[in-house]
Amino acid sequence: MSRPTCLYPIRAFRRYGGLTLGASALAAAALLTACADSGGEPMAGDDMPPVPVSILTTESEHADVYREYPGRIRGAREVEVWARVQGILEERLYDEGEIVVAGAPMFRIERAPFEVAVTMAEADVATARASFRQAEREWRRVVDLYEQDAVSERERDSALGAYELAQAQVQAAEARVAQARLDLGYTDVTAPQTGAASLESVPEGSLVGPGTKLASVLQLDPVHVHFALPETDALVRRAIRNGMEHEAVLILPDGSTHPEPGVVDFTASAVDAGTGSISARAVYNNADRALVPGQFVRVRLLLRSYEDIIVLPELTVGEGPDGPQVFVPADDGETAVSRPVSLGPVIPEGQIILGGIESGERVIVNGHARLFDGAPIAIEPAGEPDTPPEDGDDA
């Protein structure tokens, strides 16, 4: 491929930047006339000063592709604490905002009415058992008399019914005792889980009843980070649905990384029609409680790992007539040759090259603005700056 004919006159025109407008126009006209007089034939490569370039020798390497998603920290579970019996709220037994342990007392409701109810229920059990023993003795006497044909079958059946009824009354009385004791136990309201306790919802001295919210407890270890995946990121969703644990690195608001990675354990089955994204969740241990619910963070996910690929500086890759390309020095080392390449994603280290360049080949890493197939090049010694010269600064 020959060098475009009109490029040299343009660069020559730039050399006349110090002339007046009229002189510059005359110079440009003269140069364009000379170009036309040449019959449109491109100038030989020897007539163009070589482009100073730097060379990079490629090496195959391993590369991981990550992507980051904004998210918000939430407690793993927030459980509300409710009163289950009616009575006067006598005392709050925890410090608001502090950590409570599962099963620890949080509130106390007046106990006296429920203690009385237990005593009454136990008395009913004693009465029922006495009636049952009397019915049992009567039943045995009637059975003996019936076998001697001293009583009728109707009298026997009546005694049997009284016996069975007394037995059922004992069971009912015992159930009332169990319920009374259960209600008495509900006067001590305990923490349903370990976590941070909220402010009290009602003050001491209030009359509460079943369904009255008293407080809530937020679990802080572990914590959940909710974020959204673009619908195009099918790789992560597929891995999770196949039962694979997908590691997630947490980047904190100050830019530091949480020392312990988490695991993505959930992705939604449908795309949110409003946002075009898919809800996802990652779980992180938080024993030191350094992660605070409500914080905005970023979740970094490994999307794919590549083996034996080439990574080049991103600006090394340009767009040619047939797609992405790079320039390599010809075998003689004096001219540039374009090479089509197939691209992978861009990572912080540069552009991943999936094909077109092999390990150990040399690639031109600067001067691309003036390079074309067959362009003369001058390879700079190692250690010289790689910044390409400005157009018009011909050697």
169 and 275 housed in the same domain: no
For 307, the 3-state DSSP assignment is: strand
CATH number at residue 121: 1.10.287.470
Distance in angstroms (rounded) separating the CA atoms of residues 355 and 257:
34
What was the pLDDT predicted at 382?
A: 59
What was the pLDDT predicted at 229?
A: 84
Amino acid at 297: V
Domain of residue 297: give its range: 68-76+219-304
213 and 227 housed in the same domain: no
Q: What's the structural domain count of the chain?
A: 4
Answer whether residue 116 shows pLDDT above 60: yes
Distance in angstroms (rounded) separating the CA atoms of residues 118 and 184:
8
- Helix 153-185 and helix 112-147, axial crossing angle in degrees, nearest 10: 160
What was the pLDDT predicted at 235?
A: 57
204 and 229 housed in the same domain: no
For the chain, give the percent of residues with pLDDT over 70.
82
Cβ(229)–Cβ(69) under 8 Å? yes
164 and 118 housed in the same domain: yes
Distance in angstroms (rounded) separating the CA atoms of residues 352 and 136:
91
One-letter-per-residue 3-state SS of 141-205: HHHHHHHCCCCCHHHHHHHHHHHHHHHHHHHHHHHHHHHHHHHHHCCEEECCCCEEECCCCCCCC
207 and 262 housed in the same domain: no
289 and 172 housed in the same domain: no
288 and 224 housed in the same domain: yes
Distance in angstroms (rounded) separating the CA atoms of residues 162 and 142:
12
Q: Is the dihedral of CA 274, 278, 283, 286 positive or negative?
A: negative
pTM of the model: 0.62
- Helix 21-37 and helix 7-14, axial crossing angle in degrees, nearest 10: 160
Q: Over the stretch 35-47, which tens digit does the pLDDT of each residue have?
A: 444 443 344 445 7
130 and 148 housed in the same domain: yes
Answer whether residue 54 shows pLDDT above 70: yes
